[in-house]
Amino acid sequence: MELVRLAEVKSQKFPRIATGFLEFDRVLGGGIVPGSIVLIAGDPGIGKSTLLLQTAMVIARGPVSRFLPASARSGLKSKVKQIDHADLRAVGNPSTTATTRKMSIVNGQMSNVVLYVTGEESAQQVKIRADRISKVTDNLYILPQTDVDAILAASEKLRPVLLICDSIQTLTTEKLSTSAGSIGQVRECGQILQRYAKSSGTPIFIVGHVTKEGVVAGPKVLEHLVDAVLNLEGDGTHAFRLLRAVKNRFGSTFEVGVFEMADSGMKEVANPSEIFLSQRISKRAGSVVTSTLAGGRPLLVEVQALCTATIFPVPTRRVTGLDFNRMQVVMAALSRSANLKLANLDIYLNVAGGLKISEPAADLPAALSIVSATVDKPVREGICAFGEVGLLGELRQVANSENRVKEAKRLGFGDFVTPVKFKTLEEAISYAVHGG
Ligand code: TYD
Ligand code: MG
C-alpha cells in the first residue's frame, strides 16, 4: 500500500487549452484541462454539435494556445510545420499519423489535431455544418463511428489534442449486448472513455442529449463519471443559449456563458444584459427590469406582464420564463396584501429574450409588472427591482445583492426597489408604480 502525505503531493498547474470562446473557457474554469472528461448536455437541436464543431475548428486552426503571452506566440508559430492533409476526412492513414504525433507537442504545448467522432451524422453532414461556420483546416479529423473500441484505436493513432464524442447515446461497446442509448451502454462507454482520458491525457468532450422523458439513459448516468457537466440551455424560439456549469472539478459551478445562435454558428455574447434589454420600450406599463443571477453572474432582463379582462369563467394564467408555482403565490399575495383584484383578469407573464429565471428574486419584479399592467401605468423610470415575496406580502432579501446592483448600475439603473429599501409589497408598489 502506498501512503502519501497530502503535503508532499505536488500542486499541479494544468496547462489549459483555449476553446476559442472566452465564454466557453470561463465556464470550463479557464480552458480545457488535459485528461479531463466533460459532458455537454442539452436538448436535441439546441446547438451542442455546433458549439463543439466550432471549438474543434478553432483548435485545429491554430497550433498555439491563446493562453500563451503574445510574445511567445509569435515566436512559436514559425516552428510549427504545416502538414498537407486533405480537408476533414476519416482517420486511418498511418503514414500521416507519425508526423501528426510529432506535431502534438510544440514547445511543451500540445498542438492542434482534433478528432471529432460523430455517431449521429455522416462526415458529409458534419462538413455541411462546418462550411456554414468557417473554413475547415487540415488538422480536424472526422470519424463516423459508434464502436468505442474503434474510437479509442483511432484516437491512439492520431493522438489528438481533443477528442469529441457526439453523442454518448449512439456509442456501444461489444462487451454488452444491449442497444445503444441503454443505461448499461451509456455507463459502460462513459467508463471506457473516462479511463482513456485519464490514462492518455487526452481531454474528451462527450455530448449527451437530455430526453424529455425524465433523462433515463442520458446525462444523469454519467454525471458522477465525468469531471464537468455543462448544460446548454435555451428555448428553440430564441437565439440565446446559456452554457451553465452544473458540476466542475476544475472550476466554479457558478459560471454561465452566454451565446447566440447565428447563421454561421454560435457567437459569444460579451454583454448579455445590453442585448436582453435592447428591445425594451421604456415607459410602457407592465415592463420591469430586474437583475437576476444566471449561475453567479448578474444579468439584467425585462419581466413583462399583460393583464386583460377575461372572457372565460376561469381566467388564464400564462407564465413563460418564470416559475409558475411561485407566480401563483405572488398573485395570491398581490390579491391579498396589495388589495388588487385579479380574479377577472387574464394574466400573461414573460421574461423578454427567452431567459428562464427560477430564483425567488424574480417575485418582486413580476409583482410590480402585474400591478403596472393592471393599473395601466408604467413603473418609475430607471428602477431595477429584485426580491422574494413572502406569503404575507413581506419582502425577503436575496443572495448577491451587491453584484446585482453593480451590473444594473453599469447599465444606467440607479434606483433599486429591493427588500433592503422596502419591507412590504405595498410599500414597493406605492413607490415603484404609484410614485409615492
Ligand atoms: P445542433 O448543433 O445540431 O444541435 P444539437 O447537436 O444540440 O442537437 O444545432 C442544430 C440547430 O442549430 C439547427 O436547428 C440549426 C441551427 N444552426 C444555426 O442556426 N446556425 C448554424 O450555423 C448552425 C450550424 C446550426
Ligand atoms: Mg448534435
Cβ(134) – ligand 1 distance below 6 Å: no
* Most confident option among 63-72, 92-101, 141-150: 141-150
Cβ(241) – ligand 1 distance below 6 Å: no
* pLDDT above 90 for 256: no
Handedness of CA 274, 277, 279, 282 (dihedral sign): negative
pLDDT of residue 217: 56
Residue from 415, 410, 412 nearest 386 by CA? 415
Query: pLDDT of 91-133, one tens digit each?
Result: 333 333 333 333 444 433 346 899 999 999 999 999 999 999 9
* pLDDT above 80 for 185: yes
Grid cell in block for residue 393: 406580502
Relative to the CA of 167, which ligand 1 atom is closest?
Answer: 6
Nearest CA to ligand 1 atom 11: 45
Distance 247 CA to ligand 1 centre (A): 24
Query: pLDDT of 369-411, one tens digit each?
Result: 999 999 999 999 999 999 999 999 999 999 999 999 999 998 8
**Least confident segment among 23-27, 102-106, 271-275, 426-430:** 102-106
Query: pLDDT of 260-269, one tens digit each?
Result: 999 999 999 8
Mean pLDDT of the chain: 85
Pocket test for ligand 1, best of 40, 48, 49, 50 (most atoms within 8 A of CB): 50
Q: Going by C-beta distance under 8 Å and a sequence separation of 6 or more, which residues neighbour residue 69? A: none
pLDDT of residue 212: 63
Distance 270 CA to ligand 1 centre (A): 21
Cβ(234) – ligand 1 distance below 6 Å: no
Q: Are 243 and 23 in contact (CB under 8 A)?
A: yes
CB half-sphere exposure, 127, CA atoms < 13 A: 14
Cβ(119) – ligand 1 distance below 6 Å: no
pLDDT of residue 81: 33
